[in-house]
Amino acid sequence: MDDGLPHTLRSDALDNRERILEAARVLFSAEGLDVPMREIARRAEVGPATLYRRFPTKQALVAEAFADQLRACRTIVDEGCADPDPWRGLCLVIEKICELHARDRGFTEAFLSTLPGAPDVAGREYTVRALAGLARRAQEAGRLRSDFVLDDLILVLMANKGINTRSAATQVMASRRFAALAIQAFEACPRHAPLPPAARLASEAQPSA
């Protein structure tokens, strides 16, 4: 009996942790990071004390809930930086990160968040430094406009976050076109390559009869 009890407790604790993380991902993605911790506990069907025992702060919960997405973002940035053509690498980063954000609003909130003391602050700093270096190389190659600053990319991501459509597919389509427009705006000598297909947002916005 004594041998089985600790295993049961560990199993219950692991189950609670996974339920909390899943509830956090769903609520953060749907409503952003302002969701109260008590609402996450309610969704996970655990008590607030259990939630705070596993995750003492919202910062810790955000970092753990979106660990996979933050790793994916770092992989994208590393892929762009590894491209011998820095402009092509920067375009890849913009396209892929915008699409990743379009698929997961909560990840956008996590990526842009400046919550103090977040466990992944160092990871975000690494990403910012890598992007700054990639942009500088693209400018030196004459492909990225000379007055570009990294805040312009943050502005694009913030605007991309505002894309909100009825279907995930339409949201991704709109994000791809938006990213293409941003890339043309950033290019030193725009070549006006064909844009991705347009999402039919005007018709979607019209009230139903």
- Mean pLDDT of all residues in 161-170: 86
Residues 62-91 pLDDT 10s:
888 888 877 888 899 999 999 999 999 999
The pLDDT score that the predictor gives to residue 112 is 67
**Residue type, position 58, single letter:** K
Give the contacts of 152 (CB within 8 A, at least 6 positions apart): 186
Instruction: Delimit the domains of the chain by residue range.
Output: 7-65, 67-191
CATH topology classification for 67-191 = Tetracycline Repressor; domain 2 (1.10.357)
The pLDDT score that the predictor gives to residue 116 is 47
pLDDT tier at 202, thresholds 50, 70, 90? low
Total count of residues recorded for the chain:
209
* Distance separating alpha carbons of residues 2 and 185, to the nearest angstrom: 67
CATH of 7-65, one of 1.10.10.10, 3.40.1360.10, 1.10.10.60, 3.30.70.3270: 1.10.10.60
Angle between helices 168-186 and 86-103 (to 10 degrees): 150
Burial class of residue 107, CB neighbours in 10 A (0-12, 13-18, 19+): buried
Q: What is the pTM (predicted TM-score) of this model?
A: 0.75
